[in-house]
Amino acid sequence: MKNILIFKIFLCSILIMVSCSQDFLEKKPSNEFSELDVFQDPVLIELYVNGIYASISHPMSKSDGMLKAEFVDEAHDMWYNYFEFNNCLITSDNLSRWSFEKWADIYKSIRMCNAFFEKVDKGLFDNTLVDGKPLKERLTGEVHFLRAYFYHQLVSLYGGVPIIKNTYALTDDFKIARSTYAECINFIVEECDLAVSMLPEVNTDKNKGRATKGAALALKTEVLLYAASDLHNNNPLFSGFTHPELLGYISGNAQDRWLAAKNAAKAVIDLGLYSLYKANPAPGDPISQNYSDIFIAANTEEDIFVKYFLAKYGGGLTWVDYENNLPVVAGPNGYHLFGQDTPIGNLVDDYEMADGSPFDWNNPAHAAEPYKNRDPRFYGTILYEGVKWIPRNTDGIAIDPIGIIQVGSWEKWNNSTNMMEIVFGLDTRNSPIEPWNGGYTGYYLRKFIDPKIDGRFSGADTPWRYFRYGEILLNYAEACIELGEDVEARKYINMIRKRAGMPDITESGEALRDRYRHERRIELALEDNRFFDVRRWAIGPKAYNIDATGVKIIYKLNPDNTTATIPTITPIVIQKRSWLDKAYFFPIMRDEMNKNDLLIQNPGY
């Protein structure tokens, strides 16, 4: 009996197992969203667009906090030094640690944009207006802006690139040729115009930080300015290259392009939404403080398109791509920071004297006290010997109770040994604190760094500004100069100089162009513009055929065995650099060339 009962139970359980059969194999991923879900729900579509924003590269983290300044004549990376890059030794196998906009990453972002356009119509949007625009229109405008931004990044580095407006399926033919430079610029401008027509003028509340009409216009300005520049217009440098249409215009008129650039900049100005931060300093205003606040403040009237950060990401606890780690990466070693992004002497020397005259090491008064009476922006950008910074940590405070940058050394007389001893400053490479993190140039970065942040323990919430109004005014002035409208140009340059507490300029013609380019270098110092400016102006030799310099600073021993209170400062070479014309454009990687035989490589690679 028992046997039979158990057997019956057994049979039943087998039947149950079989009958449940195959439905239970149908599992759903519980941590993912299906494509159908995402593109029906407007909330999720907005999150998807956020993902495109998150894919824009920024210089604050990249795990090493590298500014493009280190890849041009603005700064030196103490850690990586980028010797190969700064000697134009990059090849199609090796970009020498270039880790900003990368071909593959940008095309991933472009695919995200393309997918949005293909699917957004499935969204169940309503027509509620926020900041004057319905959500669908606003998001569409944002993605046009983003797609234009990504292509602008590519074209700035590579010249004409394949324009891809649709998404690929697995079975498609993936090969595609590069479009001409002109076609790319036209496409980007069209995208900007579409964005302008769809985006709100101002975003409020939780939409702050999204693209606006102003952001799209600012992008268009930069695109047209770059396109009008020497590199892409009647440039003789690559005359032997069989596909000049990939690198620049081969027909048309540069003046028309400057006019377009000028009009685009004027359109931003005419929006009337932006103004210079503390544009009209009163006598006695802390001008250099105002200047550094532009880059530290959470929001200013000058912001056009910015990326925000939260201080909780960064510092000791996390190490992620969306953090602002610049305080720990760039700060001086004497504060237990990494001393990595150090401005070079060549930039420092370019800051004018406060009266507008150039600084000159051959001028004995300048050389004796080089940091005296300089352009106020110098003080807002650079940390240098003897400047008061923030209080030291516990170990530094005994040596330096105030918190003064020490990048020099003291010759001191030791009475007990009757010998001279050299005492090195806390922020040198012979410091008692982390000497291996000491910079080589004698300067550290002040711009973008919030002194309230202790980089050892915290990231920064200082935003990164992709576009600010100051740049637009300069763009406008540049176009005016190229169109021969010197008076208009000077007016706008002098707006910038006035805010900086510097006297007006009065030059014209060629001299005005030089003065403008100098002004742009100073006002936009370390903001990632210079890298592109020296290329589009085709002044590579001027920027790279130089030795990168720093300073050697010694408080000398006086004949009476006291130590001088004013240091002797002499410029030193810290890195040899050199230029090759191929470096005006990036190489397409060998791997990519192999996968797509329709691609044409840039000259020199």
Partner 1 sequence: MEKKSSLIFSIWKKYKIFLYLNMTIILVLSLTTDLVAAGSIGENPSKDDPQQVTVKGTVTDASTGQTMTGVNIQVKGTTIGNISDVNGEYSIPSAVDQNAILVFSFIGYISQEIPVAGKTVINVALASETKGLEEVVVIGYGTAKKATITGSISTIQGDKLNVSPSINFSNSLAGRIKGLVAVTRSGEPGNDAAILRIRGSNTLGDNSPLIVVDGIANRSLESINSADIENITVLKDASAAIYGAQAANGVILITTKRGLAGKPEITITLNQGLSMPTVIPKMADAATYAQMVNEVQSYRSRPATYSQAEIQKFRDGSDPWKYPNTDWFKEVYKTSSIQNNANFLLTGGSDRLKYFFSAGYKYQDGNYKKSATNYSQANFRSNIDAKITDNIKLSIDFSGQQENRNYPTRGGIMNACMKAYPTSVAYWPNGLPGPDVERGNNPVVMATSATGYDKDKRYIMESNVKLDFTIPWVKGLSVNGNASIDKNIQNHKLWQTPWFLYSWDGQTYDENNEPLLTKGEKGYSEPALTQSMSDGHRTTLNALINYEHSFTDKHNIKLLAGIERIEEESMNFWAFRRYFVSTEAQELFAGGDLEKDNNGSSSASARLNYFGRVNYNYLQKYLAEFVWRYDGSYIFPANKRFGFFPGVSLGWRISEEEFWKENIAFINNFKIRGSWGQTGNDRIEEYQYLSSYGFGDPYFFNNTLEIKSLKELRISNPNVTWEVANQTNIGFDAQLFGDKITLSADYFYNLRTNILWWRNASVPATTGLILPRENIGEVVNKGFEFEVGYKNSINGFTYSVSANCAYQKNRIKFWDETPGVPEYQKSTGRPMNAGLYYQAIGIFKDQAAVDAYPHWANARPGDIIFKDVNNDNKIDGLDMVRNDKTDLPTFTGGIDINLAYKNFYATLLLQGAAGAVARHITSSGLYGNFLQDDAEGRWNEDNPDATKPRAWNSSDEYWMANQNTYFLRNTDYLRLKNVEIGYNMPATINNKLGVQGLRIYFSGLNIFTLTKLKDFDPETNVSGGSDGYFPIKVYNLGVSLTF
Tell me the closest approach of the beta carbon of residue 105 to partner 1, in angstroms: 9
Q: State the DSSP code for 556.
A: P
Alpha-carbon distance 158 to 59, whole Å? 20
Tell me the closest approach of the beta carbon of residue 475 to partner 1, in angstroms: 26
Q: Across 53-174, where does the E strand assignment appear? A: 75-77, 129-130, 133-134
Q: Which is nearer to partner 1, 84 or 293 (CB)?
A: 84
* Integer-rounded Cα radius of gyration of the chain: 28
Tell me the closest approach of the beta carbon of residue 73 to partner 1, in angstroms: 18
Tell me the closest approach of the beta carbon of residue 219 to partner 1, in angstroms: 18
> What count of residues does the chain have?
605
Alpha-carbon distance 303 to 38, whole Å? 32
Tell me the closest approach of the beta carbon of residue 106 to partner 1, in angstroms: 9
Tell me the closest approach of the beta carbon of residue 598 to partner 1, in angstroms: 9
Q: Which is nearer to partner 1, 542 or 595 (CB)?
A: 595
Q: Which is nearer to partner 1, 37 or 201 (CB)?
A: 37
Q: Which is nearer to partner 1, 462 or 529 (CB)?
A: 462
Rounded alpha-carbon distances, angstroms, from residue 270 to 125, 133, 273, 469, 501: 32, 21, 8, 12, 25
Q: Which is nearer to partner 1, 501 or 603 (CB)?
A: 603
Q: Which two tokens stand for residue 240?
A: 């032997």
Alpha-carbon distance 243 to 251, whole Å? 13
Q: Which is nearer to partner 1, 457 or 506 (CB)?
A: 457
Q: Which is nearer to partner 1, 108 or 372 (CB)?
A: 108
Tell me the closest approach of the beta carbon of residue 557 to partner 1, in angstroms: 17
> What is the rounded (10 degree) CA torsion for 65, 66, 69, 72?
170
Q: Which is nearer to partner 1, 35 or 256 (CB)?
A: 35
Tell me the closest approach of the beta carbon of residue 458 to partner 1, in angstroms: 7
Alpha-carbon distance 84 to 578, whole Å? 10
Tell me the closest approach of the beta carbon of residue 298 to partner 1, in angstroms: 4
Q: Which is nearer to partner 1, 136 or 515 (CB)?
A: 136
Q: Which of 90, 70, 59, 85 is nearest to 588 (CA)?
A: 90
Query: Which residues are registered as beta bridge partners of 233?
Result: 249
Element housing 306 (H / E): strand 303-307
Exposure letters 73-84 (e unless 16+ CB within 10 A, then b): bbbbbbbbbbeb
Alpha-carbon distance 452 to 193, whole Å? 41
Classified as helix, coil or strand, 397 is helix
How many other C-beta atoms lie within 10 A of the C-beta of residue 314? Answer: 29
Q: Which two tokens stand for residue 69?
A: 């300044």
Tell me the closest approach of the beta carbon of residue 259 to partner 1, in angstroms: 33
- Specify the residue for token string 């592109």: 532
The answer to whether 257 and 186 have CB atoms below 8 angstroms apart is no
Tell me the closest approach of the beta carbon of residue 161 to partner 1, in angstroms: 8
Q: Which is nearer to partner 1, 3 or 362 (CB)?
A: 3
> What is the rounded (10 degree) CA torsion for 295, 297, 301, 305?
60
Alpha-carbon distance 505 to 485, whole Å? 15
Q: Which is nearer to partner 1, 335 or 476 (CB)?
A: 335
